[in-house]
Homo-oligomer: A and B are copies of this chain.
């Protein structure tokens, strides 16, 4: 880390990062405390300030420290762990499990949305409702129910768009990188859901609700109801 820097297999910033992590874990830098400035740490570790900056930036991204100009860097009060959750295409999720994907469109029509949908898609006048089931090896895998804001993606109203390609994929292609919110919960299957998925009413469904927004207006609200047995796996 000195003079010409004797090469660094793992990167010097990692050494600083790991040592900072150790001090936080060992309560040498207790929760809420201000840690030394970049300049001081650079001095201590004998490296450039940018290297310390890199290390602390990673810690901040992980939520372990909070940084503010002039105020300095302080250890987060409650260093919460985070996990990264992939939001894959349904088809890819099924194929990744080694199964054959297929798909049945139940309906696609413009229709007035129920109040709780209207509330979440405020500003959307005309909404297209799409319902479909995705199958893994011909067994029902997930029920997709979706509302699409026709003001933002009017092409979705073209007849036959969702005959072979699911709304799931169509929207990823046509509205990529959109922001949004995701909500995960368990719910007993309603009779209609149970029927669509070939289950008994009341079965425990894993449900994800996802609202996708463009900067100006909501794009789509999707509810995916997964048949029992599906697990969402994450690394921490």
Which residue numbers of A lie inside 8 Å of B, CB to CB? Answer: 21, 24-25, 78-89, 92, 176-177, 179-188, 202-207, 210, 212, 226, 228-236
A228 to B81 alpha-carbon distance, docked (Å): 24
Establish whether residues B206 and A205, one from each chain, have CB atoms under 8 Å apart when the complex forms. Answer: no
Establish whether residues B89 and A83, one from each chain, have CB atoms under 8 Å apart when the complex forms. Answer: no
Establish whether residues B78 and A185, one from each chain, have CB atoms under 8 Å apart when the complex forms. Answer: no
A95 to B189 alpha-carbon distance, docked (Å): 30
Shortest CB-to-CB span from A116 to chain B, Å, is 14
B residues within 8 A CB of A203?
A: 188, 204
Establish whether residues A233 and B181, one from each chain, have CB atoms under 8 Å apart when the complex forms. Answer: yes
B residues within 8 A CB of A81?
A: 86-87, 177
Copies of this protein, total? 2
Establish whether residues A79 and B182, one from each chain, have CB atoms under 8 Å apart when the complex forms. Answer: no
A10 to B176 alpha-carbon distance, docked (Å): 23
B residues within 8 A CB of A84?
A: 82-85
Q: Can you give 10 A-B contacts (C-beta < 8 A)?
A: A79-B176, A84-B84, A180-B236, A183-B234, A184-B234, A185-B230, A186-B187, A186-B204, A186-B206, A202-B202
Establish whether residues A186 and B226, one from each chain, have CB atoms under 8 Å apart when the complex forms. Answer: yes
Known A182-B233, A187-B204; contact A176-B87, beta-carbon cutoff 8 A = no
Establish whether residues B83 and A182, one from each chain, have CB atoms under 8 Å apart when the complex forms. Answer: yes
Question: Which A-B residue pairs are the 9 nearest by beta carbons?
Answer: A186-B186, A204-B204, A186-B206, A184-B232, A81-B87, A182-B234, A186-B204, A185-B231, A188-B204
What would 19 more interface pairs be, CB under 8 Å, given A180-B235, A181-B234, A184-B184?
A78-B92, A79-B176, A80-B86, A80-B88, A81-B86, A82-B87, A83-B87, A83-B182, A84-B85, A87-B236, A180-B236, A181-B233, A183-B231, A185-B206, A185-B231, A187-B228, A188-B204, A210-B236, A212-B236
